[in-house]
Amino acid sequence: MIMYSNFSKLILGVLLVSITFSCIKEKYITDKPTDKTTSNKSLITEFKLLVSQNPDKIGNTDVVAQEVTFENSKFYVLLLPHGLNPGTTTFIPKITVSEGTISPPTGEAVELANIVKNGADIDIHNSGQEYTITSRDKSVHKYRVIAISAPSGIDVSKTIITANTLKGLESEAINPVVNDLDETIVFGSLTNADLENSFSEDSFSLDISVAVTTTNNKHLSIVTPTTANFKKKGFSDEESRIYEADLPITYTVYGKKFIRTYKATIYRENIVFAKVKATKRVFDEAVAEAAAKNVIAKAAAETAKNSAITAKEFTDTILATATDIKKKFWSFTPPAIMIGTIIRKLTKVSQAASSAADLANTSTEAVNATNSEAAFEAAEAAEAAANDALETVKFFRNSPAFIIAKGIIGDKAETNSNMVITGLTYMFPAAKNDAKIAADASKETANALKKVDDARTAYESAKADAGINIE
């Protein structure tokens, strides 16, 4: 944040607010013994500081003194930029008088910003520079001139140009670079422009909030502009992308208005940098989309893995149960033969389910469309094997062999067969469905990553064309 000069260093406000301000009134002195009435008309017609005579001291514009009256006392004030160097006290003025001669003469360096304190107040009789004009009739007139800096600078953090999409400003222009000596407020740069390239008007207006740093001073009021009227700087390729606006800041002190004008600058993108910005936006969006799809794909792969593992564990459980039950029958009895057939088919189911689980687990370690597709195909094979085993179990339930089995092992025959039928009916289709969802999600992620690669290539190409690494 740019802060205004220390009160004690620049006397910034003290001169303007101290009720002790006074000045030496004009005296009319002649070489005759008779007294004459003092004239109220100033013999100084112009007192100013030229940039050419005061380089790097007063900014970019000439400064003209104004006569200030306070409690019937008159003095001249030069309101310099807020960024005046506290150590700068000497200036070269250009003075024009209506008649006579002035001392010190015009063009002579004097300490106009030399401030003498009397306690907490300014010693007005000894601050600045006293000038003496000797008129043609030999009368002598004295004037005091004091140079001070403007009491407020620009608050960078609160100075903002309001977004206006119709005029090419998609978002607020913020954090300008401010120079309180040259009185410039610069938003962005040619390589980091705020205005869209598509906007190319010669002039336009934007709402602006110009914040200043102020003192609590009942004798001081400050008015800042709320609209910036920008004009294109020129018509060359570079100048056509630079827009400038004058921002007058009005300081009113004891009824006297002083104006310091800042120049605001905002930039429009050129076609090359606009392409960089556009491709960067596409790249960022592609990265964000791929990241989101990757999260979905990982979650889907985890679900598919868990379903495949659950199906395999179920198959292994019923396979072990069937093996134990088969032992209760003589080898060549109908129940033993049917259960043996079921065991062989359940073994195939277990093998297929194991493969599906392994592939599903691999696909969760790193989202990969090929792995996910292989896991889905394994889940399909496991479902097909489960359906084949299911048909055999159903046939067994409706065969005389099942009646024999019930006679030997009782309700276990029905309980276990129901469990097998239910598990094979619902578990493997669900596992296949989860694998399908995971495979589709993985494909979407792969497509999104391809878009990222394409967008990155376009972005890098645009940066290369621009010849600068723009982030």
Residue 30, pLDDT > 80, answer no
Mind listing the pLDDT tens digit for each residue in 435-451? Answer: 999 999 999 999 999 99
Residue 256, pLDDT > 70, answer yes
Distances (CA, A) of 37 to 23, 28, 43, 124: 18, 7, 15, 24
CB 176 within 8 A of CB 153: no
Mind listing the pLDDT tens digit for each residue in 211-247? Answer: 998 666 666 789 999 999 999 999 898 999 999 999 9
Q: Please tell me the class of the 274-466 domain.
A: mainly alpha
Residues whose CB falls within 8 Å of the CB of residue 359, separated by 6 or more in sequence, listed in order: 308, 371, 374, 375, 378
In this predicted structure, what is the pLDDT of residue 108? Answer: 97
In this predicted structure, what is the pLDDT of residue 1? Answer: 35
In this predicted structure, what is the pLDDT of residue 217? Answer: 61
Percent of the chain with pLDDT over 90: 69
CA torsion 30→31→33→39, rounded to 10°? 0
Ramachandran assignment for 205, one of left (phi > 0), alpha (psi -120 to 50 degrees), beta (any other): beta
In this prediction the pTM is 0.61
Distances (CA, A) of 78 to 50, 63, 256, 260: 12, 7, 12, 11
Residue 99, pLDDT > 60, answer yes
Q: Which residues of 389-407 are buried (b: 16+ CB within 10 A; e: fewer)?
A: bbebbeebbeeebbebbee
- In this prediction, residues 386-392 reach a mean pLDDT of 95
pLDDT category at 360 given cuts 50, 70, 90 is confident
Separation between Cα atoms, residue 212 and residue 228, nearest integer Å: 16
Residue 61, pLDDT > 80, answer yes
Separation between Cα atoms, residue 66 and residue 49, nearest integer Å: 12
Segment among 116-125, 374-383, 417-426 with least mean pLDDT: 116-125
- In this prediction, residues 59-79 reach a mean pLDDT of 88
Separation between Cα atoms, residue 88 and residue 55, nearest integer Å: 12
* Residue 230 bridge partners (DSSP): 204
- In this prediction, residues 422-435 reach a mean pLDDT of 94
- The phi and psi torsions of 380 (rounded to 5 degrees) equal -65, -45
Where are the strands (E) in 195-345, listed by range?
203-209, 220-223, 227-232, 242-253, 256-267
| pLDDT, averaged across the chain | 86
pLDDT category at 69 given cuts 50, 70, 90 is confident
Segment among 21-25, 66-70, 399-403, 411-415 with least mean pLDDT: 21-25
In this predicted structure, what is the pLDDT of residue 3? Answer: 35
- The phi and psi torsions of 196 (rounded to 5 degrees) equal -65, 150
Q: What three-state secondary structure class fits 470?
A: coil
pLDDT category at 253 given cuts 50, 70, 90 is confident
Q: What is the CATH number of domain 7-149?
A: 2.60.40.2340
Omega of the bond leading into 176 within 30 degrees of 0 (cis): no
- The larger pLDDT score, comparing residue 466 to residue 76, is at 76
Longest dimension (CA), the chain: 157
- In this prediction, residues 346-353 reach a mean pLDDT of 94
Q: What three-state secondary structure class fits 283?
A: helix
Residue 2, pLDDT > 80, answer no
Q: Where are the domains of the chain?
A: 7-149, 156-269, 274-466
- In this prediction, residues 164-182 reach a mean pLDDT of 94
In this predicted structure, what is the pLDDT of residue 438? Answer: 92
In this predicted structure, what is the pLDDT of residue 21? Answer: 32
In this predicted structure, what is the pLDDT of residue 40? Answer: 53
